[in-house]
């Protein structure tokens, strides 16, 4: 059996992080590749500092970043 790839690891982490959508202010959770590797991206509809939910800065070994988006 082949070892799971890094891509499947980030996909698995993002799938688990979908539970964060239940938190007020969290609009979307996905991944992005940065210069330091794959990252979990949390899009918010408010200032990320206003999110009081327990979203960690790292999750399943991946950095978590927040980006505020405006609702259209």
Each residue's pLDDT tens digit, 27-67 = 999 999 989 899 999 999 999 998 888 999 999 999 999 99
Q: Which residue has the tokens 């408010």?
A: 46
Q: Which residue has the tokens 């799971």?
A: 4
* pLDDT band of 1, cuts 50, 70, 90: very low
**Of 17, 22, 18, 24, whose CA–CA distance to 52 is shortest?**
24
Say if CB 64 and CB 26 are below 8 A apart: no
* pLDDT band of 7, cuts 50, 70, 90: confident
Whether the predicted pLDDT of 4 surpasses 80: no
pLDDT at site 8: 84
pLDDT at site 28: 96
Say if CB 10 and CB 31 are below 8 A apart: yes
């Amino acid at each position: 059996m082949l070892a799971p790839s890094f891509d499947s690891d980030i996909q698995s982490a993002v799938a688990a992080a979908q539970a964060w959508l239940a938190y007020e202010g969290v609009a979307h959770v996905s991944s992005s590749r940065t210069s330091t590797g794959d990252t979990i991206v949390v899009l918010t509809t408010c200032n990320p500092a206003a999110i009081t939910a327990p979203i960690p800065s790292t999750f399943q070994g991946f950095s978590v970043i927040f980006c505020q988006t405006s609702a259209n």
